[in-house]
Structure 1
Amino acid sequence: MPENMTDTYDVVINGASVAGCSAAILFARRGARVALLERRSSMSAHKVLCTHYIQASAHPVMTEIGLADALDGVGAIRNSADYWTKWGWIKPEARTGPGVLPHGYSVRRETLDPLLRRLAAETEGVDLKPGHTVGELLTEDGWVTGVAGTTAGGTFALRARLVVGADGKDSTVARLAGTPAEISENNRFSYFAYYRGITHPEGRTSARVYYLDPDNAYVMPNEDGVTVIAAVLSKQRLDDFKDDIEGAYLDLVRSLPEAPDIDNAERISKVIGTVNYPLISRRPTGTGYALIGDAALTSDPLSAVGCAWAMQSASWLVEAAAPALADDDRLSAALAAYARRHATETGPHQHLIADYATARPFNEIEAFMFEAAAKDSRMAEHFHVFGSRLMTVEDFMAPDMVARAEKVNGWSLSEEALRTLAEGAPGTPAQQHGHDDLLEGAAR
């Protein structure tokens, strides 16, 4: 550890991407002095693997930090989606028309990350420090009191009332703190590429998501006339890609129902992807530190919740901790409150997401709700609001919506499925299988 402590802050945040920049802006606007550290030196650095879809649940945070206006200014797409299923297309906007239902944004990370970093750097009270790599947590009497590390010019050490890990699924802060984690395997792999010149049906900018059961794909318009096209497939199909990733990807895209015309468009990137992206849940707080974004919860990219939950978890933390930064006892209680809210807001959704990430076919309840959404515009809107993470699992499976689905489908759920609903909609806190145990120490 460097001998001379050069600076003291209210909050030190490691990671200047979606979660970190959002937290820095929100903390600073509440009067905190914030050091925002980023190991990469370039302001244009950005994450490569991403769904490129920010859910509508994050819209209030985007508005508060000025990101919504900024995204409109760079031409990001106010997003919506149509969903292909074996029962037909789910079209949430069929009744309302475009632009009525809640929206987020579709945007490439090469646009989003630098934009957020600039917003943070321009916020009074935020000290952005690129090229700072954290290698140590400073502690006193078991309480995290700061960070130390290296820069191109030497070493640094910073003290703070609160240290925040916003440093992704391989979080340095979590590793140094020894934070417990629960890891669930993702049995899907994914490849995607960017295209220019893709023609979209009826000139619309809605994404098209394909539930091929158990495989998936999506075609998603982004800013500047660029479309990202992704294949998200069961690992049982890995052998298809072993010898020729590009050829297998192109064949898959061409085989999609009402497939995008990639042969008359320009591919402007190589085929990018990963075969291993596990789901990671960590206790989001400890003594003197907190985790947000993927550092706290890395979900399945297919669910497209990463960017939204990054912003929302930043907001939940700031709401709880900003008024308590001056007092250790109050801060401990505030961090426990943040941990509880994080579990309540994300736990039931994450349980469903992790279960579906096993790459199994639809279960009976999913088939029941998807079929109804494909047949009925009101059910399609209901599907959209839930998929945007603007609705709880319990509300999605509310008795009146189940009754409507029964009427639309002309068939009823089995007694076993009805017992599942009676005991609590799948994914409610009673069925989280360890998520609450993971958070018990922080939320106590």
Structure 2
Amino acid sequence: MTGDESTGQDHDVVISGASLAGSAAAILLARRGVRVALLERRSDPSAYKVLCTHSLTANARPVLDELGLVPALEEAGAVRNEARWYTRWGWIEPGAAPGPALPYGFNVRRSTLDPMIRARAAQTDGVDLLLGHQVTGLIREGGRAVGVRASTPQGEREFRARLVVGADGKDSAVAKHAGVPARLHENTRFAYFAHFRGLPLPGGIAHTWFLEPDMAYAFPNDGGITVVAVVPDKKRLPDFRKDLEGSFTAFVRALPEAPPIDSAERVSKVIGVLDYPLADRAPTAPGLAFIGDAALTSDPLWGVGCGWALESAQWLAQAVAPAAAGRGDLDRALAAYARTHRRRMRGHQYLAADFAKARPFNPLERLMFSAAARDGALARHMHMFGSRLIGPPRFLNPVAVAKASAVNLRHRGERSGGSPG
């Protein structure tokens, strides 16, 4: 459904932000019998996020399946996000290792994805998509949020609901009005992105370079477009900015098995992110929930934000739908969502924040990455972690660590025995 009018009292949930997290949450809640007002500050239904890795990691696949978006993504040309990762020990190549097919998500431009999921929300019974509606304040009663005030094409209006959801990004207006601060973690890398047409990559799959401490990646997307990013240590920023395009090009040319950008067509500006701290906040407050980047913003170099946006929308819908529709204890449901969010995200965010310090690999990372470059089973294990299908405890479980140690000891023994490996 779409609309530009509402009594302000006809909804169970009001969501601020109709990008990935907000649109997904609206669909999933409405399918569970919840009446949703989905407010989007932008008036254009085709609006999309420009600065993004355009990656839906494999952890998002169950959400995409539930939303019914996979056929539409494949028809639009979304690229399965297989990947290989360069390290100083060689390439980690999960797809080349023997075994069953690996789980996958998709690389797809936000200009394709955002309008697609927003249109799906607009077509869902129980969802009122209200474009050009920007939240300007919260309505509170008894110490809890019971709705929002919004600037709309018809003027200032109120929308009352049992639950208010902030899906409005890392600088969430809902969080600001609610007084829910974010905890910030410094990111001591910067990033520049550019899009290229006609850029071949070996195997047609994504590439990531761990250069310690610098990073780079190239992700193929729909429409024959590849996003290339360079993510250096901030110490290099002053020199880099003296000649932005020259520095970007030189950085990419110097990569091992460098993408041939000189023979490709650059179809975008070189876009920079100079200061992008990681941020996380409490995922709930009385009458409030946060999803997507409003709850947790990680380091963009990992390409996990889109997948986590969809996952957090699903966790919220699963936890609160009955209570949001008036059939249960909403505070208890919100507490369940908060527990799931913390359990699933805390370990990943801790490791990402530590790696964002632009440091070389620590001893445990050296162990796992070097072994994964030498052993197919550990490369597949790395894929499961990089795709966020397993968390840090499973990635670093005693069996995996012992296997990595054995692989590296065997490799050292081969070298001492005269082998060229």
- TM-score, normalising length: structure 2: 0.94
Aligned twin of 1:220: 219
* Kept after mapping to 2: 8 A contact 1:299/1:350: yes
Alignment of 1:327-346 (within 5 A): 327=326, 330-346=329-345
Deviation (angstroms), 1:378: 0.5
Alignment of 1:299-310 (within 5 A): 299-310=298-309
- TM-score, normalising length: structure 1: 0.89
Aligned twin of 2:81: 79
Deviation (angstroms), 1:239: 1.3
Aligned partner of residue 311 in structure 1, secondary structure? helix
Aligned twin of 1:66: 68
Aligned twin of 1:375: 374
Structure 2: gaps (5+ residues):
1-5, 412-421
Aligned twin of 1:192: 193
* Kept after mapping to 1: 8 A contact 2:322/2:328: no
- Please tell me the residue identity of whatever aligns with 1:379: L
Deviation (angstroms), 1:6: 4.0
- Please tell me the residue identity of whatever aligns with 1:153: Q
Deviation (angstroms), 1:411: 7.5
- 1:228-277 per-position Cα deviation (integer Å, ceiling 9, x unaligned): 11001110110122222111111101111111111111111110121011
- Please tell me the residue identity of whatever aligns with 1:317: L
Alignment of 1:17-416 (within 5 A): 17-96=19-98, 100-201=101-202, 204-327=203-326, 330-410=329-409
Aligned residues: 406
Distance 1:152 1:245 in 2: 40
Identity among equivalent pairs (%): 56
Aligned twin of 2:18: 16
Aligned partner of residue 179 in structure 1, secondary structure? coil
Deviation (angstroms), 1:398: 1.5
Deviation (angstroms), 1:49: 1.3
* Kept after mapping to 1: 8 A contact 2:34/2:325: no
Higher alpha-carbon deviation: 60-69 or 88-97: 88-97
- Please tell me the residue identity of whatever aligns with 1:75: G
- Please tell me the residue identity of whatever aligns with 1:103: Y
Distance 1:41 1:232 in 2: 33
- Please tell me the residue identity of whatever aligns with 1:198: L
Change in Cα spacing, 1:396 to 1:253, as seen in structure 2 (3 Å) is same
* Kept after mapping to 2: 8 A contact 1:77/1:205: no
Deviation (angstroms), 1:392: 2.1
Distance 1:59 1:109 in 2: 17
Distance 1:338 1:356 in 2: 27
Aligned partner of residue 8 in structure 1, secondary structure? coil
* Kept after mapping to 2: 8 A contact 1:63/1:69: no
- 1:360-397 per-position Cα deviation (integer Å, ceiling 9, x unaligned): 11000001100000000001000000111111211111
Aligned twin of 1:425: none
- 1:21-72 per-position Cα deviation (integer Å, ceiling 9, x unaligned): 1100000000111110100000111111111111101110010011222211
Deviation (angstroms), 1:400: 1.6
Aligned twin of 1:432: none
- 1:174-215 per-position Cα deviation (integer Å, ceiling 9, x unaligned): 0000003211111111001110111222xx221010001110
Aligned partner of residue 239 in structure 1, secondary structure? helix
* Kept after mapping to 1: 8 A contact 2:24/2:310: yes
Aligned partner of residue 100 in structure 1, secondary structure? coil
- Please tell me the residue identity of whatever aligns with 2:248: Y
Distance 1:314 1:331 in 2: 16
Distance 1:109 1:6 in 2: 31
Deviation (angstroms), 1:137: 0.5
Higher alpha-carbon deviation: 185-194 or 318-327: 318-327
Distance 1:75 1:5 in 2: 40
Distance 1:131 1:327 in 2: 28
Distance 1:282 1:271 in 2: 31
- Please tell me the residue identity of whatever aligns with 2:48: H
* Kept after mapping to 1: 8 A contact 2:25/2:313: yes
Deviation (angstroms), 1:402: 1.4
Aligned partner of residue 343 in structure 2, secondary structure? helix
Structure 1: gaps (5+ residues):
413-444
Deviation (angstroms), 1:155: 1.8
Higher alpha-carbon deviation: 357-366 or 321-330: 321-330
Output the aligned Cα RMSD: 1.6
Deviation (angstroms), 1:8: 2.5
Aligned partner of residue 161 in structure 2, secondary structure? strand
Higher alpha-carbon deviation: 150-159 or 118-127: 150-159
- Please tell me the residue identity of whatever aligns with 1:167: D
- Please tell me the residue identity of whatever aligns with 2:58: A
Deviation (angstroms), 1:328: 9.2
Distance 2:127 2:176 in 1: 25
* Kept after mapping to 2: 8 A contact 1:25/1:126: yes
* Kept after mapping to 1: 8 A contact 2:35/2:325: no
* Kept after mapping to 2: 8 A contact 1:211/1:217: yes
* Kept after mapping to 2: 8 A contact 1:142/1:287: yes
**Which consecutive segments of 4 or more residues in structure 1 shift more than 6 A?**
none
Deviation (angstroms), 1:7: 3.6
Distance 1:153 1:323 in 2: 32
